[in-house]
Amino acid sequence: MDAESNDSQYAGTLRAALADLLVEQGAIHDDRIATAFRLVPRHLFVPLVPLEIAYADDVVLMKRDASGVAISSVSQPTVVALMLEQADVRPGHRVLEIGSGGYNAALLSELVGPDGEVTTIDIDLDVTIRARETLDAAGYPDVRVLRTDGEFGDPAGAPYDRIIVTVTAWDIAPAWMEQLAPGGRIVVPLRFRAQTRSIGFDLLDAESSGHSLESRSMVVCGFVNMQGAGAAYERWVPLHGGLVSLSFDEDQESEPVPPERVLDQPKASAWSGVLMNREEPLSDLDLWLASTLPGFCVLSAEPRALKKRIVAPVPRWGASAMASRNSLGYLTSRPAADPDYVELGANAHGPAAQDFVQLLVDQVRVWNENLRGGKGPTLRVDPASLPPDQLPPGFHLRTRHSHLTLIW
């Protein structure tokens, strides 16, 4: 047996193991998606890394910008699988992917079959050249690859049954709504209130609602940021010499922020009595706090800030927080009697510290008593042209093109 066939046998073994892992871990439920993962040679889309890395459940970084920020990658298989589950792609579908790496487009091509069609678009010429070459090499010459700004979709190829966005978006671009076929679905990593979730949206009946979408599923995820016309401004507020930072969104530009040394002020703490398993996701609680707390933002801290106990946020990628012009409060936790559990609480600094910790723990308790373990909120997207008095009741956010309403 020659080296090449040995190599491809080994690649096949690793590929099967990855598909098994994704099924075992619950990322894949649909057999057709598992089959696609068993068929598509991921290593051909990430040719510069060893086979073991190509078939690890990890993102493979492909390009950074001049300042070192990641701008292109081949996504983590778990995230790819979860998004394909959300998309529910059927044989014969016409699918538009925004953000190309080649790999996901090949999986989509397997799912739509010979009667369907996949178009993948990317803003970056290096990426589209690589995607074209690797898709051809892997046996997917029918996938259309275009270089264009995904904000405008692909009007010439519309309508699409599915639009899958694989880059963080701050809004639903009007073009995506217009290019979606009746009964269509958009899956998009949408960032709002400094948190990103891959959301599967269905187009509502146009007769009754114009162009509106309603979420069917939400999964916490992380992606590189959208460039081009849909790029948005992320507001990062450094505190304590940059060891701690607060993250806000574009529409929160005028929200007041506390002084840089607010964390030097005495700390107030309060405990909620609410226990969480250490592994339990906090994503619904974070959304509830985002919906109810004034000055909501996300606090993140450098390891040095944790070590020096400058802050002690709940140990997740970022902690729900609230800020005003003189005070800052955030979600924290402490060990519970059972070592698998922690108790949720709040810390705050500044003149409003007592009020902030009370507000935070009150809302943790409201969530615990009324919402915990439920189906989570629905997110509705309506065009900005819709008069606000016609919006559904809920927590409202205004983005460039849309009204977002979180309905609990």
Ligand X SMILES: C[S@@+](CC[C@H](N)C(=O)[O-])C[C@H]1O[C@@H](n2cnc3c(N)ncnc32)[C@H](O)[C@@H]1O
For ligand X, the binding residues (CB under 6 A) are: 71-75, 97-104, 121-124, 127, 149-151, 166-167, 223-224, 226-228, 230
Closest CB to ligand X among 138 and 167? Answer: 167
| Separate counts of helices (H) and strands (E) for the chain | 11, 19
Could you confirm whether 5 is annotated as catalytic? Answer: no
150/377 with CB nearer ligand X: 150
Are β-strands 296-301 and 244-248 bridged in parallel, bridged antiparallel, or unpaired?
Answer: antiparallel
State how far the Cα of 279 lies from the Cα of 376, in Å rounded to an integer.
18
Contact of 151 with 171, CB cutoff 8 Å:
no
- Distance between CA atoms of 4 and 17, rounded to whole angstroms? 20
Q: Are strands 117-122 and 94-98 parallel, antiparallel or unpaired?
A: parallel
Q: Which residue is nearest to ligand X (CB)?
A: 101
Closer to ligand X by Cβ: residue 167 or 328: 167
Closest approach, Cβ 359 to ligand X, in A, equals 37
| Closest alpha carbon to 122 in 104, 139, 137, 140 | 104
CB atoms within 10 A of CB 236: 12
Give 41-58 as a DSSP string: -GGGGSTTS-HHHHTSSS
Beta-bridge partners for 201: 186, 215
At its nearest, how many Å lie between ligand X and the CB of residue 23? 20
Compare residues 151 and 382 and give the one whose CB is closer to ligand X.
151
Stated length of the chain:
408
H or E element: which one contains 298? Answer: strand 296-301
Nearer to ligand X, 99 or 313 (CB): 99
Catalytic one of 75, 198, 215, 320: 75
User: Contact, 397 vs 403, CB < 8 A?
Assistant: yes
* Residues recognised as catalytic: 75
